[in-house]
Amino acid sequence: MDEVIKNESITKQSEDFAQWYTDVCKKAELMDYAPVKGFIIYRPYGYAIWENIKEYLDKRFKETGHSNVYMPLVIPESLFNKEKEHVEGFAPETLVATTGGNNKIDDPLIIRPTSEVLFSEHYSRIISSYRDLPKLYNQWCSVVRWEKTTRPFLRGSEFLWQEGHTVHETEIEARNEALSILDIYDQLGKDLLAIPFVKGIKSDKEKFAGALETYSIESLNPDGKALQCGTSHYFGTGFSEAFNISYQGRDGKLYHPYQTSWGTSTRLLGAVIMMHGDDNGLVLPPYLAPIQVIIIPIAQQKEGVLNEAKKVYQELKEAGLKVELDDSDKTAGWKFSEYEMKGVPIRLEIGPRDIEKGNVTLVKRNDGTKISASRSGLVDTINTTLKQIHEEMYNKALKYVNDHTTTIQTYEQLKEAINANSGYVKCMWCGDQACEDKIKEETSATIRCLPFNQIKVGDKCACCGKSATKVVLVAKAY
Amino acid sequence: MDEVIKNESITKQSEDFAQWYTDVCKKAELMDYAPVKGFIIYRPYGYAIWENIKEYLDKRFKETGHSNVYMPLVIPESLFNKEKEHVEGFAPETLVATTGGNNKIDDPLIIRPTSEVLFSEHYSRIISSYRDLPKLYNQWCSVVRWEKTTRPFLRGSEFLWQEGHTVHETEIEARNEALSILDIYDQLGKDLLAIPFVKGIKSDKEKFAGALETYSIESLNPDGKALQCGTSHYFGTGFSEAFNISYQGRDGKLYHPYQTSWGTSTRLLGAVIMMHGDDNGLVLPPYLAPIQVIIIPIAQQKEGVLNEAKKVYQELKEAGLKVELDDSDKTAGWKFSEYEMKGVPIRLEIGPRDIEKGNVTLVKRNDGTKISASRSGLVDTINTTLKQIHEEMYNKALKYVNDHTTTIQTYEQLKEAINANSGYVKCMWCGDQACEDKIKEETSATIRCLPFNQIKVGDKCACCGKSATKVVLVAKAY
């Protein structure tokens, strides 16, 4: 009963992109729904992708002097209420525990939606001198935000993430921290996810509750919608004042230090699925993939085939490649579909004819190209091909973003482009929130960010026509 | 104001072991108390130790075919109630969320105290054939158990752990899984923690809620109390029946599969602190320590000293050692105390006289021995010394356990030994729970386990005097 061509039942992207997405999440066995609405189970294949992201980021964080810590899961309501803007931003979506060991809890416990207040409270107790700074902490955990509409990886009532929280002596140091973390996130896209992120700063309306500035990386999906993939916040002294964190400076006087926080989450899996996937399922970039090469023996009952396949497996394994061999009794056709659905970058076929010629056949998942490769020097060929696949995927994604960024001048053009779901609309903005509100109300699109290093594309606000100096990217978003 | 000899304020073990323990947890900066009673903050140094345990176990789990997954944080009360013994065991200590996004939740959500029911519910949906077995899953997460009396790492309302959950076609396979995981835990003690665990099986009274059999590893602390450091459970088909997990067997008929679960937690940090620590603070075994070698320059203002210290640092770093250099302007005396408190296995002193002679001075944290070591071949000397320290610590702990295991025959001897807090009491037991209850009631000690591979130490129950075939270890416990 396993002998079903699994991908027969997957919806086509062109028919229903949202349904295609859900199909891939389920059929590639990335996740399953949990017994509570909005919560999901991260299955082994999905979790392995997250582990690869985690490993990359954790290494970069540690190289740049950050330490991991673990803060409690719960925040007393009274503590949560200390920073006004912060609590207003999060209170409507909190999960609250009120009973512990069959007794009512007097100060109800909020299941952490984010941990600024816990870090700040701790910092207030361990920081007293400039010698104690900077503090560069990060934690890997799950957070809960009670969401009405949820979608696997993109928006969930619980998700996995990392949250960095740092404290600095000077404003400039804190601002640099927030920006240099954004660079690490951006580099993750370039090195691992094959996603060209746009880096920028959020408008005041869209920034994090309690932040003075929020920087973000944004990706653009094939349905024309943008996805915020990571944020980095500069807090100034807002939290350090609210939580009474102070240090004795080099001059002996007391000061409030400057803080940042920053995070990326399992939402990145959603970005990868949407950016690269196709009608046959997932397409994983090679340095993110839990399996880089799947070996499928052809006519494996014939003498010598399985033996040779195992030799190749051993050779690639020893070279450090993430390789698997499927020698189950399923048909080759079933296996092809299965690993296409799972997005494995290279399929390696080996059959009697290949063996005779001293060859193997490589099939690239990203474009279906077949390569006949010599058995000698196979590891090099595969490493080169993986690199090539990564570059092709990155460049294709970059081209997509460029092709789907429409520069406009007038409000009519803006509405037209947004209604066409054609991706980013690039235009000038006066900086007035009234214009931002109007765009959102009338088109449901938002200012995704004020991208860094932009050349002006006009001098009038696309909304109100007044003088404008800010370049913005507008799009519908998840 | 930093120039305080920190360890002056630590309580002596002989004065008050419990207070000494708490002092070390705080002063070695392993943890801090959180704003909610029973919850703690894992500070960078404490968390780094946990990360080393995690890395070791994760590698072993993966080598033996296990995959990581992530299950939701919450369990609906209705689902939790499905396995009767399980819910009775855990219900009294659950934290329950009743409000989400300002609305009452109809089916209240239990913050997971353990995840058997979530795994079982998922397994019921993904297992249908013998081809789907075994399932070998593990997850790293935190769990919440609402405890009245809490102590850092030893018993907390929230703790970090891993929980493995596996499903098997046959009983023998499941039993082997439970036992082979126990071996991995035991090996962790030998390789990393320098703790000789006792492996054994729990009495029916002490086993996990819902398990047919519970195996455990136990350590013995210098205060004579035992500590359960990890458990592995064989469930039979209890959960698979309650959650309706079934598979079509090789003969085409439907069967319920056999399950196990197993876990170790941050309690292991508590075991390490207590087993090895002394009146100067923490003593960390070398392969667990986040810092293996701390370099302290002597008279660092003198020309050439700091330069040479940096060279040594670079050399050790490149050899893969976990090394740090403290070139801060604190006094050497302050630094000595600080890194003793933190239990760093080797202190490396380098001063003008050492440089002149082409030497460095090594000081072993575990016994204070000073070694004058030649600069040439230093990496080898340090590696050998680390290995030696590990062995010395393990052997000392082993000797302690052996010296504090008293074999007794009569109930009077049992009470006497327990009251003397002299460690394990080894004796015969008839297997009757009445005897077990009596021992607990009258001495507050419990049967820690029926240790594996024991030679009988008599033939009568130490409690009731009736015929007995079971060898047990009895002790007070945390």
- pLDDT at position B459: 95
User: Hey, are the CB atoms on A44 and B69 less than 8 Å from each other?
Assistant: yes
User: What are the backbone dihedrals phi and psi of residue A370, each rounded to the nearest 5 degrees, phi first?
Assistant: -100, 135
Mean pLDDT of chain B: 95
- Say which residue the tokens 């003793």 belong to: B340
Could you give the CA distance from residue A386 to residue A384 in angstroms, rounded to a whole number? 6
Q: Lowest mean pLDDT: which of A6-20, A237-251, B262-276, B336-350?
A: A6-20
- pLDDT at position B8: 58
Cis previous bond, B222, omega within 30: no
pLDDT in tens, B430-470: 999 999 999 999 999 999 999 999 999 999 999 999 999 99
Element (H, E) at B314: helix B305-318
Q: Does A104 touch chain B (CB under 8 A)?
A: no
What average pLDDT score do residues B342-347 get?
Answer: 98
- pLDDT at position B432: 96
Q: Is the pLDDT of residue A91 over 90?
A: no
User: Hey, are the CB atoms on B68 and A99 less than 8 Å from each other?
Assistant: no
What average pLDDT score do residues A274-292 get?
Answer: 98
pLDDT in tens, B132-189: 999 999 999 999 999 989 999 999 999 999 999 999 999 999 999 999 999 999 999 9
Which of A41, A100, A137 is facing B72, going by the closest CB pair? A41
Q: Residue A92: pLDDT band by 50, 70, 90 thresholds? A: confident
User: Hey, are the CB atoms on A39 and B102 less than 8 Å from each other?
Assistant: no
Concatenated DSSP letters of B222-241? TTS-EEEEEEEEEEETHHHH
Closest B-chain CA to A36: B76
Could you give the CA distance from residue B81 to residue B207 in angstroms, rounded to a whole number? 19
- Cβ neighbours for A240, distance < 8 A, ≥ 6 positions apart: A120, A123, A167, A246, A256, A257, A258, A259
User: What are the backbone dihedrals phi and psi of residue B93, each rounded to the nearest 5 degrees, phi first?
Assistant: -125, 30
Concatenated DSSP letters of A6-48? GGGGPPPTTT-HHHHHHHHHHHTTSEEE-SSTT-EEE-HHHHH
- pLDDT at position B264: 98
Q: Does A288 touch chain B (CB under 8 A)?
A: no
Q: How many Cβ atoms sit within 10 Å of the Cβ of residue B192?
A: 22
Tokens of A67: 């330490």
What average pLDDT score do residues B62-87 get?
Answer: 93
Q: Residue A8: pLDDT band by 50, 70, 90 thresholds? A: low
Contact B7, B23 (CB under 8 A): no
- pLDDT at position A2: 42
What is the number of helices (H) and of strands (E) in chain B? 14, 23
What average pLDDT score do residues A39-56 get?
Answer: 98
β-strands A135-144, A103-111 pairing: unpaired
Q: Is the pLDDT of residue A359 over 60?
A: yes
Q: Is the pLDDT of residue B65 over 80?
A: yes
Q: Does B99 touch chain A (CB under 8 A)?
A: yes
Which of A76, A157, A160 is facing B36, going by the closest CB pair? A76
User: Hey, are the CB atoms on B68 and A44 less than 8 Å from each other?
Assistant: yes
Interface of A with B in 27-56 (CB under 8 A): 32, 34-36, 39-44, 47-48, 50-51
What average pLDDT score do residues B69-81 get?
Answer: 95
Tokens of A36: 């509570």
What average pLDDT score do residues B2-13 get?
Answer: 66
- pLDDT at position B453: 93
Q: Residue B4: pLDDT band by 50, 70, 90 thresholds? A: very low
Q: Residue B397: pLDDT band by 50, 70, 90 thresholds? A: very high
User: What are the backbone dihedrals phi and psi of residue B334, each rounded to the nearest 5 degrees, phi first?
Assistant: -60, -45
Contact A293, A345 (CB under 8 A): yes
Could you give the CA distance from residue A432 to residue A224 in angstroms, rounded to a whole number? 25
- Say which residue the tokens 């020309």 belong to: B303
User: Hey, are the CB atoms on A75 and B121 less than 8 Å from each other?
Assistant: no
- Cβ neighbours for B269, distance < 8 A, ≥ 6 positions apart: B30, B46, B49, B50, B153
Closest B-chain CA to A46: B69
Could you give the CA distance from residue B183 to residue B178 in angstroms, rounded to a whole number? 9
- Residue B196 sits at the vertex; the CA angle it makes with B192 and B200, to the nearest 5 degrees, is 120
- pLDDT at position A159: 97
User: Hey, are the CB atoms on A129 and B79 less than 8 Å from each other?
Assistant: no
CA distance B78 to chain A (A): 10
- pLDDT at position A5: 46
User: Hey, are the CB atoms on A69 and B92 less than 8 Å from each other?
Assistant: no
Contact B425, B474 (CB under 8 A): yes
| Chain A partners within 8 Å of B44 (Cβ) | 67-69, 137
- pTM metric for this prediction: 0.96
Contact A141, A107 (CB under 8 A): no
Give per-residue burial for A211-222: e unless 16+ CB within 10 Å, then b. bbbbbbbbbbbb
Could you give the CA distance from residue A399 to residue A194 in angstroms, rounded to a whole number? 12
Which of A79, A99, A122 is facing B96, going by the closest CB pair? A99
Dihedral (C-alpha) A269, A275, A278, A282: value to the nearest 10 degrees? -20
Strand residues in B223-300 grouped as ranges (E): 226-236, 247-248, 254-255, 258-265, 293-297
What average pLDDT score do residues B399-411 get?
Answer: 97
User: What are the backbone dihedrals phi and psi of residue B252, each rounded to the nearest 5 degrees, phi first?
Assistant: 85, -10
In single-letter form, the type of residue at position B291 comes to I
| Chain B partners within 8 Å of A121 (Cβ) | 35
Q: Is the pLDDT of residue A3 over 60?
A: no
Q: Greater confidence, B83 or A428?
A: A428
- Say which residue the tokens 């460690």 belong to: B423
Crossing angle between the packed helical segments A17-27 and A267-276, to the nearest 10 degrees: 110
User: What are the backbone dihedrals phi and psi of residue A426, each rounded to the nearest 5 degrees, phi first?
Assistant: -105, 125
Tokens of A149: 């509409």
- pLDDT at position B259: 98
Q: Is the dihedral of CA B411, B417, B421, B423 positive or negative?
A: negative
- pLDDT at position B82: 86
pLDDT in tens, A101-132: 989 999 999 999 999 999 999 999 999 999 99
Q: For a pLDDT cut of 90, what percent of chain A falls above it? A: 93
| Interface confidence (ipTM) of the complex | 0.95
Which of B2, B79, B160 is facing A70, going by the closest CB pair? B160
β-strands A346-350, A293-297 pairing: parallel
pLDDT in tens, A296-338: 999 999 999 999 999 999 999 999 999 999 999 999 999 999 9
User: What are the backbone dihedrals phi and psi of residue A459, each rounded to the nearest 5 degrees, phi first?
Assistant: -135, 15
Q: Residue B307: pLDDT band by 50, 70, 90 thresholds? A: very high
